[in-house]
Amino acid sequence: ELHPIVSHLRNLNCYNRPDYTMIHKCFLKLIKRIDVHYDDRYDWESDLQVQYVLKHRKKRPEYEHAEEFFASDPIKVNGPPPAELNMRRSSE
């Protein structure tokens, strides 16, 4: 499941934005295959600690549904530099 990630990253240069949606989907496919859940405890956590957290949390963590976040480009990495930045540099 992780081979497409390595191939994708090797084809990027410093100007490319990684395809975070594809990477996220690869990890989701992996955790589904090995039957891992976000609520599973780590080796160093006790069952009591996990039960306490699950009992007191108000809503599911946002990272469990991160598809929209990874598909977005909030700082416009995929777009050209802002026009005002180009104007300043050309006038210097």
Write out pLDDT tens, residues 15-30: 788 888 899 999 999 9
Instruction: Give the whole-angstrom CA distance, residue 85 versus residue 73.
Output: 19
Q: Largest alpha-carbon pair distance within the chain? A: 63
Q: Is the pLDDT of residue 3 over 60?
A: yes
What does pTM read for this prediction?
0.65
* The predicted structure's pLDDT at residue 85: 57
Closest CA to 41 of 51, 54, 50, 29: 50
Q: Which tokens is 47 given?
A: 């069952």
* Rounded-to-integer distance, Cα 70 and Cα 57, Å: 24
| Residues in Cβ contact with 61 at an 8 Å cutoff, skipping those fewer than 6 apart | 38
